[in-house]
Amino acid sequence: MWFRNLQLYRLPAPWNIDADSLQQQLARRAFQPCGSQDQESRGWVSPCGDDRLVHAVGDQWLIALGFEQRLLPAAVVKQEAEERAELIAAEQGYRPGRRQMKELREQVLQEFLPRAFTRRRKVYAWIDPVRGWLGIDAPSQARAEDVLGALRDSLDALPLALVRTERSPGSAMADWLAAGEAPAGFSIDLDCELRSVTESRAAVRYVNHVLDGEEIRGHLAAGKLPTRLALTFDERLSFVLTEKLEIKRLDFLDVVKEKVEESGVEDAQAMFDASFALMTGELARLLPELMDALGGELEAEKPSAGGASVTPPWETAA
């Protein structure tokens, strides 16, 4: 159990809810497979295949939103509708009109859906109710919003806020690159993307490239700002930080993962729990240091029970 991405949100610290209460509320929206005429279904599933929707390891929780989607390409529906339209045209002497074609496509969709293959996936979310973190293993904020929406629909209240820092990630990353040095505990890796703030949005991307040369500083002087920067924390985990304060390509290095092997556990569930405990322990170390590197986390406004997010001041200014 190792996250690859982290979309971060703030909960009250501590969050005044226990795992059993969260379990009961998530059960209201438990996953149900697609019905014969459903194109997609979503709901809460067990993160590790048992009957619990909230998997607790110590004071850390793991939940998962399950999706099932029927695989019926629009091109297949369109092709079948066109073939039927040709038969109708041969019988009545003219092609069906726009309204009749729409009805044909809807008819084909209803007939084909029950026979379509389905695909399932999960999106995991980590909850630290003591320190007030909600982290979603999603590559984009749009994907994370699926989980947030399901939480809002399931819980009596979701006191959620965006993470707010004094400095924008873009300006902080620009300073690190200009100085050729990351804050204490971090090191700059070999990947970054810089993008112009002008209307052209011209961009340059470096992959496996040393980032401490005059070329990088020249781009910064020309007005480009970093939108992505690869970093390593404490030689234990690496990640890409984005201008939106997203953590991508999260990789827990061998020095961390070897601890699971050294623990001697062989049971699959025990290994799952050990990995989750190690991952959340490392994230609990990383996040405060990252907040400090960005000038400190601003005192959060009282989170909205409805889940409305607070816009960081550096996004408002932009």
What is the structure's pLDDT at 302?
A: 47
Q: Dihedral (C-alpha) 16, 282, 275, 263: value to the nearest 10 degrees?
A: -120
SS3 per-residue string spanning 6-69: EEEEECCCCCCCCHHHHHHHHHHHECCCCCCCCCEEEEEECCCCCCCCCEEECCEEEEEEEEEE
Residue in 59, 63, 24 with CA at minimum distance from that of residue 44: 63
Kindly report which listed range (25-34, 104-113, 254-263, 267-276) carries the lowest average pLDDT score: 254-263
The answer to whether residue 303 scores a pLDDT higher than 70 is no
> 170: which residues sit within 8 A by CB, 6+ positions away?
225, 226, 227, 243
Is 196 in contact with 223 (CB distance < 8 Å)?
Answer: yes
In the DSSP assignment, the letter for residue 210 is: -
Helix 268-293 / helix 254-262 crossing angle, nearest 10 deg? 150
Kindly report which listed range (160-174, 279-293, 303-317) carries the lowest average pLDDT score: 303-317
Residue in 244, 261, 264 with CA at minimum distance from that of residue 314: 244
The answer to whether residue 261 scores a pLDDT higher than 90 is no
Considering the chain, what percentage of its residues have pLDDT values greater than 90? 66
Half-sphere exposure of 66 (CA within 13 A, CB side): 21
Mean pLDDT value of segment 243-249: 96
Mean pLDDT value of segment 34-43: 89
Half-sphere exposure of 177 (CA within 13 A, CB side): 33
What is the structure's pLDDT at 309?
A: 47
What is the structure's pLDDT at 317?
A: 46
The answer to whether residue 43 scores a pLDDT higher than 90 is yes
If you average pLDDT over every residue of the chain, what do you get? 90
Chain segment 175-201, per-residue pLDDT in tens? 999 999 999 999 999 999 999 987 778
The residue count for the chain: 318
CA distance 227 to 312: 16
Chain segment 75-118, per-residue pLDDT in tens? 999 999 999 999 998 988 888 899 999 999 999 998 898 888 88
The answer to whether residue 18 scores a pLDDT higher than 60 is yes
The whole-model pTM stands at 0.84
Chain segment 135-181, per-residue pLDDT in tens? 999 999 999 999 999 999 999 999 999 899 999 999 999 999 999 99
What is the structure's pLDDT at 308?
A: 44
What is the structure's pLDDT at 179?
A: 92
Residue in 225, 217, 220, 168 with CA at minimum distance from that of residue 201: 225
Considering the chain, what percentage of its residues have pLDDT values greater than 70? 93
Name residue, tokens 């092709």: 79
Is 59 in contact with 69 (CB distance < 8 Å)?
Answer: no
What is the structure's pLDDT at 315?
A: 58
Kindly report which listed range (14-23, 133-142, 263-272) carries the lowest average pLDDT score: 263-272
